[in-house]
Amino acid sequence: MLKRSDYFILAAALISMILSIFLWFSGNQDAGLFVGIWVPSILGFGAYFKILKYRGRS
């Protein structure tokens, strides 16, 4: 089951992706690529913090 923090991480990644697509199609491809790189980073940090949380339980 997803927790509230998981929804915030997914929302941040989705907002970043939407912003990247908007910047790309508005003619600012460099900024769109830069913001697009944030999506896997946000998801990676979210997975890392989730692993740390579950690792501390045992």
pLDDT digit string (tens) for 13-45?
999 999 999 999 999 999 999 999 999 999 999
The predicted structure's pLDDT at residue 33: 95
Angle at 47 between CA 54 and CA 51, to 5 degrees: 20
Average pLDDT for 52-57: 84
Residue numbers of the domain that contains 22: 4-57
Look at residue 8 in the predicted model and tell me its pLDDT: 95
Q: For the beta carbon of residue 24, count every other beta carbon within 10 angstroms.
A: 16
Provide the domain count of the chain: 1
Query: Angle at Cα 30 formed by Cα 24 and Cα 34, nearest 5°?
Result: 90
Mean pLDDT of 53-58: 78
The CA-based diameter of the chain, rounded to the nearest angstrom, is 50
Entry pTM: 0.83
Predicted confidence band of residue 58 (pLDDT cuts 50, 70, 90): low
13 and 39 in contact (C-beta within 8 Å)? Answer: yes
The CA distance from 58 to 55, in Å, is: 6
